[in-house]
Amino acid sequence: MKKVIIFGASGSVGRSAIELAKANPAQFKIVGASAGSRFKGLKKTAAELNIKHVLDTRGEMTTEVITSFIAQCEPDIVLNAVSGFAGLRFTLATLESNLPLALANKESLVAAGDFVMALSQERRAPIIPVDSEHSAIWQCLINDRTEIKPFHKIYLTCSGGPFFGQTDLSTVTPHQALEHPNWDMGAGITIDSATLANKCLEFFEAMHLFEATKDQVEIVIHPQSVVHSMVQFADSSIIAQLSPPSMQLPIAYALNYPERSECGLPSPDFSALDLNFRTPDKSTFRTLQVLEHCAAHMQNLPTVFNAVNEEARNAFIRGEISFLRIFEILEAVTSQTRVKPLESLEHIYEVDQSARAMAKSLIHKP
Ligand code: NDP
Ligand code: MG
């Protein structure tokens, strides 16, 4: 029986994890959970499932507050399913508590990857990816349960989002962008899947998790979301991970790691399975051009990319800017940012804040 904390328990990944624990009471016991605006709902769930400790994240969330919450819960593993840059503190607090981290919050790695990976090593606190692509890569790379095999290349698959195949995105509305063809997710990541910003974040996430260079990661469009990513080795052999598009498997895999267990997914009907692969359209999905610039320089640029993207896509959801304006704001701020090394965690918070301020000034420009 594994004792689990779920940070971000009221969200899409968090609720899937709760369902998983509910369906497998002999395997998982939720010992702590957090929510913010949906805290009331979480309290109800906590009463139902006998979750002893709950954290209302609307209060000030310093790393110390989170660390002492973790200590009270005495978990075996922590799932970070908080959305956005705010998830970074939950990642740091978990690693500082020397605990394994099942990581859905990709923004922690995008904004502070070098610090997070170094802390994970220093504390011997492994990070097990929950993002489906990275879970797939991990499953392709880990064969003896301890070591990551040397690889030649990672093929990061991407559904293409709801606008795959379109070249004019000038009239896209938030309602249209919130309809993802394959995945049911929180609003932020759903818009990021429509702009392909999500894939850019995942590109940086893969670089950090697997110590890959930018040339070792390639984005491949795969509209069916059945192949969750692939890894190529020195002899050109490619190993892929396939499963239906459901977060149940990557969540269960990360929480169970290194074991595997039943998670209720159907086997594929191969006679009806049609798998296609395409090259991404960089001229329509201009986030990919911004990615190229940021990946070529790294340092502070991924942190800036993440901050600007969060601000711009939230403004799009609120109806304040057009879909194409998300691309323009990302292009403007990342190209105007001086490339500088990230010196400390405090510096990362400053870089995040100033990038947000620049993005906001462009959002509010008439
Ligand atoms: P949701 O928006 O559905 O949920 C986000 C969760 O984070 C909620 O519990 C929310 O609490 C909490 N939260 C939001 N802001 C803060 C904050 N400032 N401090 C503390 N908690 C906060 O997001 P998803 O579940 O879709 O995504 C969560 C993470 O997982 C993201 O990083 C996403 O990129 C990643 N991911 C998601 C996938 C998916 O299928 N949804 C797939 C792969 C990765 P409340 O709402 O109560 O305020
Ligand atoms: Mg993903």
Residue 51's nearest CA partner among 33, 75, 78 is: 33
Helices and strands, counts by H and E, the chain: 14, 10
Residue 87 is predicted with a pLDDT of: 98
With a 6 Å cutoff on the Cβ, whether 245 touches ligand 1 is no
Full-model pTM = 0.98
Substitution candidate for ligand 1 out of 38, 40, 66, 83 with most atoms within 8 A of CB? 83
Q: Are residue 252 and residue 178 in the same domain, yes or no?
A: yes
CB atoms within 10 A of CB 238: 12
Indicate if the pLDDT at residue 145 is higher than 60: no
Judge if the beta carbon of residue 36 lies within 6 A of ligand 1. yes
Whether residues 138 and 276 share a domain: the answer is yes
Q: Is 361 in the pocket of ligand 1 (CB under 6 A)?
A: no
Q: Distance from the CA of 83 to the center of ligand 1, in angstroms? A: 3
Q: Is the CB of 38 under 6 A from ligand 1?
A: yes
17 and 121 fall within a common domain: yes
Domain check: are 141 and 275 in the same one?
A: yes
**Which among 344, 312, 305, 89 has a CA at the least distance from the CA of 204?**
305
Least confident window among 124-128, 145-149, 265-269: 145-149
Tokens standing for residue 112: 């502070």
Atom of ligand 1 nearest to the CA of 57: 20
Structure tokens at 231: 């890894």
pLDDT at residue 116 greater than cutoff 60:
yes
Distance CA 273, CA 304 (A): 40
Q: What is the rounded distance in angstroms from the CA atom of residue 98 to the CA atom of residue 10?
A: 25
Phi-psi region of 211 (alpha: psi -120 to 50; beta: other; left: phi over 0): left
Distance CA(323)–CA(177), nearest Å, equals: 9
Which ligand 1 atom is the nearest neighbour of the CA of 39? Answer: 47
Q: Work out which ligand 1 atom sits closest to the CA atom of 188.
A: 2
Q: Domain of 341?
A: 286-366
Smallest-distance ligand from the CA of 7: 1
CATH classification of the domain holding 316: 1.10.1740.10
70 alpha carbon – ligand 1 mean position (Å) = 19
33-92 residue pLDDT tens: 999 999 999 999 999 999 999 999 999 999 999 999 999 999 999 999 999 999 999 999
Per-residue DSSP letter, 240: E
Give 290-303 pLDDT, tens digit per residue. Answer: 999 999 999 999 99
pLDDT at 180: 82
The ligand 1 atom at the shortest distance from the C-alpha of residue 132 is 43
Most informative mutation of 44, 185, 253 for ligand 1 (most atoms within 8 A of CB): 185
How much is the average pLDDT of 7-13? 98
Domain count for the chain: 3
Q: Residue 340 has which token pair?
A: 């500088």
Residue after which a domain boundary falls, among 107, 130, 153 = 130
**How far apart are the C-alpha atoms of 242 and 155, rounded to whole Å?**
13
Residues 292 and 364 in one domain: yes
Which pLDDT does position 61 carry in this prediction? 95
Same domain, 258 and 146: yes
Based on the fold, state whether residues 290 and 317 are members of the same structural domain.
yes
pLDDT for position 175: 95
Phi-psi region of 106 (alpha: psi -120 to 50; beta: other; left: phi over 0): alpha
Output the average pLDDT for the chain: 96
Six token digits for residue 256: 């169970």
Return the pLDDT at 183. 81
Mean pLDDT of 221-239: 96
Q: What is residue 184's predicted lDDT score, i.e. its pLDDT? A: 83
Residue nearest to atom 41 of ligand 1 (CA): 185
Ligand closest in space to the Cα of 159: 2
CA of 188 to the centre of ligand 1 (A): 8
In DSSP terms, 33 is beta-bridged to: 6, 54
Q: Helix 132-141 and helix 197-209: axis angle, to 10°?
A: 30
What are 267's two structure tokens?
């086997």
> Same structural domain for residues 30 and 143?
no
User: Are the beta carbons of 79 and 130 closer than 8 angstroms?
Assistant: yes
Q: Which two tokens stand for residue 109?
A: 């790695």
Cite the DSSP H helix spans in the chain.
12-23, 39-49, 63-73, 88-96, 106-122, 132-141, 174-177, 187-195, 197-209, 248-256, 287-297, 301-317, 323-336, 345-363
Q: What pLDDT is stored for residue 261 in this prediction?
A: 86
How does pLDDT run across 263-283, given as a tens digit for each residue?
889 988 899 999 999 999 999
Instruction: Output the CA torsion sign for 42, 79, 311, 183.
Output: negative
Of 87, 115, 130, the one marking the end of a domain is: 130
Can you give the pLDDT at residue 146? 63
Residues 223, 271 within the same domain: yes
* Domain final residue pick, 262, 280, 298: 280
CA distance 146 to 192: 33
With H, G, I as helix, E, B as strand and everything else as coil, classify residue 226.
coil
Q: Which residue's CA is minimally distant from atom 32 of ligand 1? A: 105
Residues 137 and 272 in one domain: yes
Residue 143's pLDDT is: 63
Chain mean position to CA 93 = 18
Q: Looking at the CA of 245, which ligand is closest?
A: 1
**Domain identity same for 84 and 207:** no
Question: Pocket of ligand 1, candidates 6, 12, 39: which has the most ligand atoms within 8 Å of its Cβ, to mutate?
Answer: 12
What is the 128 CA–ligand 2 centroid distance (Å)?
14
Predicted confidence at residue 253, as pLDDT, reads 96
Residue 309 is encoded by which pair of tokens? 């993207």
CA distance 113 to 104: 14
Q: What is the pLDDT of residues 173-206, one digit of tens each?
A: 999 999 888 888 999 999 999 999 999 999 999 9
Average pLDDT over every residue of 330-358 = 98
Looking at residues 245-266, what average pLDDT do you find? 92
Q: Which whole-number Å values give the CA distances from 223 to 75, 106, 324, in the listed order? A: 38, 22, 22
Confidence (pLDDT) at 144: 55
Predicted confidence (pLDDT) at residue 149 exceeds the cutoff of 90: no
The torsion angles phi and psi of 6, rounded to 5 degrees, stand at -115, 110
Q: In the chain, what percentage of residues exceed pLDDT 70?
A: 99
Ligand 1, atom nearest to 86 Cα: 18
Average pLDDT, integer, range 84-102: 98
Ion ligand 2 neighbours (CB, 5 A) are 131-133
| Contact call for residues 38 and 111 (beta carbons, < 8 A) | no
Q: Is the pLDDT of residue 220 over 80?
A: yes
Q: How far is it, in rounded angstroms, from Cα 206 to Cα 326?
A: 23
User: Cβ of 201: how many Cβ atoms within 10 Å?
Assistant: 24
Same structural domain, 171 and 249:
yes
